[in-house]
């Protein structure tokens, strides 16, 4: 009887593996960090493991899920500059259904709205029609205060145009690429009755990339990046005199040495590796 049960279990598991593709990937690292003025320098280490699975029906519809699990802490190197605690349990996964050019994603209170990621929705719909793209995020249970946001985009050659709307705010943007230079303009009413108009430009010359933007509300920012071989260095600043500096060295095999330093007294350094 035990042999029959073992054979049946093996057959069941094999059938499950054959009908779906399961992948694992992730990042891990360790180092030192000082998180803010007067904070002690501490050691950090952590891992984030991504789990994904997908299956395709006979009709060509692909259903996939993705979630992650981890432990310890990882550094948010060049975005929020924070020490991010990694979740130790699998939560509700994002489930995606894709058919042709249409993609629908279900993820309760975890899909960023399109004009502000300060609030999240539950359902997104994305589709393309030639050079036209449409994205919609819906808060089904209306818990975020934003019922819906959408973004309409169009690309033709080197020209890209986009329109985003959320609550009472809307933003119109356009960019055009000329050789190694890209210029852009945007108009954002912010939903507060004050429209901010911005112009931006980016230029790549060999190993150096320059990016700058300025608006009619006295805001501006400037970024400079340099990359050669395994070394990458980036510096950014803005009108409030805040700045950040990031450096990385690719050691090969998915391993990199990284360091970040900001005007807000955030400092982190360490080794990371992808798998």
Tens digits of residue pLDDT in 74-109:
999 988 899 999 998 888 899 999 999 999 999 999
The answer to whether the beta carbons of residues 265 and 244 sit under 8 Å apart is no
Mean pLDDT rounded to a whole number for the chain: 91
pLDDT in tens, 237-275: 999 999 999 999 999 999 999 999 999 999 999 999 999
- b (16+ CB within 10 A) / e for 68-83: bbbebbbbebeeebbb
Look up residue 87 and give its DSSP letter. P
Tokens representing residue 77 in the block: 């190197």
Looking at residue 19, its pLDDT comes to 63
pLDDT at 204 over 80: yes
pLDDT band of 10, cuts 50, 70, 90: very low
Residues 155-173: what's their mean pLDDT? 95
């Amino acid at each position: 009887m035990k042999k029959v049960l073992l054979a049946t279990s093996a057959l069941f598991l094999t059938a499950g593996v054959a009908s779906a593709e399961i992948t694992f990937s992730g990042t891990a690292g360790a180092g030192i960090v000082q998180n803010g003025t007067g904070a002690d320098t501490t050691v950090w280490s952590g891992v984030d493991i991504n789990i994904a699975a997908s299956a395709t029906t006979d009709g060509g519809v692909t259903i996939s899920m993705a979630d992650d699990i981890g432990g310890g802490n990882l550094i948010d190197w060049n975005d929020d500059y924070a020490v991010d605690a990694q979740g130790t349990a699998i939560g509700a996964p994002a489930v995606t259904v894709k058919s042709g050019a249409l993609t629908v994603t279900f993820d309760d209170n975890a899909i960023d709205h399109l004009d502000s990621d300060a609030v999240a929705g539950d359902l997104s719909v994305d589709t393309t029609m030639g050079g036209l793209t449409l994205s919609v995020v819906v808060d089904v249970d209306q818990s975020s205060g934003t019922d819906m946001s959408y973004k309409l985009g169009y690309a033709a050659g080197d020209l890209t145009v986009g329109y985003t709307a959320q609550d009472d705010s809307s933003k119109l943007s356009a960019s055009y690429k000329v050789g190694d230079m890209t210029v852009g303009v945007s108009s954002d009413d912010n939903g507060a009755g004050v429209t901010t108009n911005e112009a931006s430009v980016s230029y790549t010359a060999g190993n150096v990339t320059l990016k700058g933007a300025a608006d009619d509300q006295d805001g501006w920012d400037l970024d400079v990046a340099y990359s050669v071989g395994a070394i990458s260095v980036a510096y950014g600043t803005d009108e409030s005199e805040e700045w950040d500096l990031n450096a990385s060295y690719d050691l090969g095999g998915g391993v990199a040495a990284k360091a970040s330093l900001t005007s807000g007294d955030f400092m982190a350094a360490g080794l990371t590796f992808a798998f």
